[in-house]
Amino acid sequence: MAEPALALVQSSPSPARAQIAFDNVALMLGGKAIINTISLDVAAGEILCVVGASGCGKTTALRLAAGLYQPTGGSVRFEGEAMRAPRREIAVVFQDYGKALLPWRTAAGNISLALETIGMPSAQREARITELLAKVGLAGHAAKYPTEMSGGMQQRLQIARCLAQDPKVLLMDEPFGALDAMTRQGLQDEMLALVASTGATVVFVTHDLEEAIYLGDRVIGLLPHPGRVGLELKIDLPRPRDQLATREHPEFLRLRRALFDFIKASE
Amino acid sequence: MILPERIKPALLPLAALLIFEIWMRLADVQSDSLAPPSAIALALAGALTDGSLLAATRDTLAAAFAGLALGGAIGLVLGIALGLSHVFDRLMEVTIEAIRPIPSVALLPIALIALGFGYRMEIAIVSFACVWPVLIMTRAAVGGIEPRLIEVARVLRLSQLDRVRKIVIPAALPRIFLAFRLAAGIALIVAVTVEIAINPLGLGAGIMTAQQALRPDLMLAYLVWIGVTGFALNAALMAAQKTLFGRAAAIGDQA
């Protein structure tokens, strides 16, 4: 077993810099290759967006990064350590907020779940919950149940629950995919502001190519059957991003064309 | 004449009772199995005032609830375990499917030898009958929990105990309560059956005593009362379900 470990260290280009490292990661499920292979480094504080045609393994890659799946080949590492299970430093925002929230708990109760799990004493929880709700723009909604909230509010609540565990990394699986365009743009900007203030690393899976460019420092395009990296785009657009100015920027339009061409060719 | 909507459903049964009463009186029926409604009502009032009916009700409900509590607890624990673990579920499959079809009343001879007459034997039989609906419905409820919630529990790194306590049980609770409501009905049926068949206590024994004393009016009064008891039990549990799980039940329906 010592030999492959050595090989992994050698093949890793910059282990010191990478917070999350995919090293020749492959995943077989039921005899079928879902991913074969992905090598990828995500730097601390980076916003990496992942796009690709359906069936390219975007969500699967995110689950590997979360420690929900174990690779059948290669390794996934967090700060140099192999991911064996989910970690406190890594939070996951699911697309289907309606299913990811506990319907029998209020907004405050849902956030409390994360605080209870990290072992925060109950006396400190309430203040922290108020703070987190305010952070995602849900101040005053603590006593509401998820079903009493709009989709945008529910997704904000899920993000607040993720922030409750003080994560270094946010893994987001098409978090705004089910929301209407206006709500989505608002949440994109709120998320960028939140991430800027916490310095968290973000891996953001989306099928919205413009969203990927708008949010990301880097965009990875995956190819399907089996999932593998087909394109990497560095996004050199000024921050803070602006819904109008950024999207009209010539560089944005150039990247948009490149990404659309890639997706079209991959299908 | 316009009748309030609420009275309409009662019209037919009332008319039937009236016709039955008139027929019994006009034909001057002498029977060991039938009695005119008025005689039944009188017998019911008599048994209620002398306390014998209430004492019998207490005995039957005590045995039924004790059996429900015992059998329901066993069914609940097993159902959660089976719902959570596929391996355990597969291991237990044959055993459960072999034992489950045994009619609970068929255990009477064994239970009688082992436990004798009285509450213990009746409770044992009732609990056997109550294990299955609770077990099967709890297993289905736990197995049918939104997989995303289990994933949320995993990424939040809830301990195994917290996963069951904070996610599995609350998510399955509306359906578990429904299982207990159905099991309560079964408990009452089985308790009365055991009493009619063999056990000298409660409503079932009361109905048998009336029959053997050639008192069809009292026998039918017991029958009516058992119906009322069952109806009241279900109505109370329905009301409890609505108050406790109004919101959760609505969510469960959507899913």
pLDDT tens for each residue of A143-195:
999 999 999 999 999 999 999 999 999 999 999 998 999 999 999 999 999 99
Phi, psi dihedrals of residue A144, rounded to the nearest 5°: -80, 145
Residue B25 CB neighbour total at 10 angstroms: 11
Contact A100 B152 (CB under 8 A): yes
Contact A114 B171 (CB under 8 A): no
Question: What is the average pLDDT across A220-249?
Answer: 92
- Would you place residue A266 in the very low, low, confident or very high pLDDT band (cuts 50, 70, 90)? confident
> Is some CB atom of chain B closer than 8 A to the CB atom of A91?
yes
Q: Where are the beta strands (DSSP E) in A207-262?
A: 218-223, 228-234
How far does the CA of residue B88 sit from the closest CA of chain A (Å)? Answer: 22
**The pLDDT of residue B25:** 87
Domain assignments of chain B as residue spans, ordered by start: 51-254
Tokens in use for B66? Answer: 């004790």
Strand partners, A227: A35
Largest Cα separation within chain A, whole Å, is 57
| Tens digits of residue pLDDT in A86-105 | 999 999 999 999 999 999 99
Contact A96 B148 (CB under 8 A): yes
**The pLDDT of residue A13:** 46
Contact A99 B146 (CB under 8 A): yes
Options 3.40.50.300, 2.40.30.60, 2.60.200.30, 1.10.3720.10; CATH of B51-254: 1.10.3720.10
Nearest to B148 among A67, A99, A117 (CB): A99
Strands of the sheet with A90-93, listed across from one edge: A90-93, A169-173, A201-205, A47-52, A218-223, A228-234
Nearest to A114 among B149, B156, B248 (CB): B156
Contact A102 B251 (CB under 8 A): no
Identify from B146, B150, B152 which residue to disrupt to test chain A contact, counting A C-beta atoms within 10 A and taking the largest count.
B152
ipTM attached to this prediction:
0.85
Q: What is the pTM of this model?
A: 0.80
Per-residue pLDDT tens, chain B, 255 aa: give them.
566 788 888 889 999 999 999 998 888 878 888 888 999 999 999 999 999 999 999 999 999 999 999 999 999 999 999 999 999 999 999 999 999 999 999 999 999 999 999 999 999 999 999 999 999 999 999 999 999 999 999 999 999 999 999 999 999 998 999 999 999 999 999 999 999 999 999 999 999 999 999 999 999 999 999 999 999 999 999 898 888 876 554 444 433
| DSSP run (H or E) holding A73 | strand A73-78
Contact B149 A85 (CB under 8 A): no
Please, what is the Cα angle at B108 between B106 and B111, to 5 degrees? 130
Nearest to B148 among A85, A88, A94 (CB): A94
User: For residue A119, what is the nearest residue in chain B, using CA coordinates?
Assistant: B158
Residue type, B180: F
Tell me the chain B residues in contact with residue A174 when contact means C-beta distances shorter than 8 Å. Answer: none
The rounded distance, in Å, linking the Cα atoms of B133 and B158 is: 30
Helices (H) and strands (E) in chain A, counts: 10, 10
| Tens digits of residue pLDDT in B75-101 | 999 999 999 999 999 999 999 999 999
How far does the CA of residue A120 sit from the closest CA of chain B (Å)? Answer: 14
The rounded distance, in Å, linking the Cα atoms of B54 and B77 is: 34
Contacts of A232 (CB under 8 A, 6+ apart): A218, A219, A220, A221
Q: Helices B216-254 and B169-197 sit at what angle, rounded to 10 degrees?
A: 170
**The pLDDT of residue A15:** 47
**The pLDDT of residue B247:** 56
**The pLDDT of residue B246:** 66
> Is some CB atom of chain B closer than 8 A to the CB atom of A78?
no
Chains A, B: CB contacts under 8 A, how many? 56
